[in-house]
Amino acid sequence: MQQAIPYRNWLRVTAAADGPIGRTPPAVHAETSSVSGKSVKGMVSENAVIVFGKRGCCMSHVMKRLLLGLGVNPAVCEVDEADEVRVIDELSTVGGGKDHGRPQFPAVFIGGKLFGGLDRLMGAHISGDLIPVLKQAGALWL
């Protein structure tokens, strides 16, 4: 059931992820991007899987590693403290599975919809529900 991560994808993600900390690039990287001035909802709809987290947050790192381990290439968006409230407001308007109030960081969106936090991701992974959802969103191919 383990998917080997295509070399090409792996290389791309690590290059983006190991970028210098604290620098806010004006252009949007393929994988890791920051939020300033960019439409958050746009990012959600453009990417099969996208993780939103506070800058430097270790939990969003856990989310990313878990998804990478499954062979998924998640987009990651790091949010500065200043933008937090605005981003969460925007994300609240996106539809989601277990919708109860405002999404909390870190949050993962799959197929344009809010999937949930790390709890939900882990739970779905263990119960075996995650892979079908990822496939349906086009994030995984068998």
Q: Region of 52 please: left (phi>0), alpha (psi -120 to 50) or beta.
A: beta
Binding-residue pattern over the window 53 to 72 for another protein, x denoting contact by CB under 8 A: ---xxxx-xxx-xx--xx--
When binding is defined by CB under 8 A, the residue of 4, 82, 126, 142 that contacts another protein is: 126
Backbone angles phi, psi at 96, to 5 degrees: -155, 165
DSSP-derived pairing of the beta strands 107-110 and 113-116:
antiparallel
Identify each DSSP E strand in the chain by its residue range: 32-34, 49-54, 75-79, 107-110, 113-116
When binding is defined by CB under 8 A, the residue of 118, 134, 137, 139 that contacts another protein is: 118
Q: How far is the CB of 45 from another protein (least distance, A)?
A: 26
Closer of 42 and 56 to another protein (Cβ) = 56
132 touching another protein, by CB under 8 A: no
Residues 137 and 24: their CA atoms lie apart, in Å, by 29
Binding site for another protein (CB under 8 A): 1-2, 56-59, 61-63, 65-66, 69-70, 118-119, 122-123, 125-128
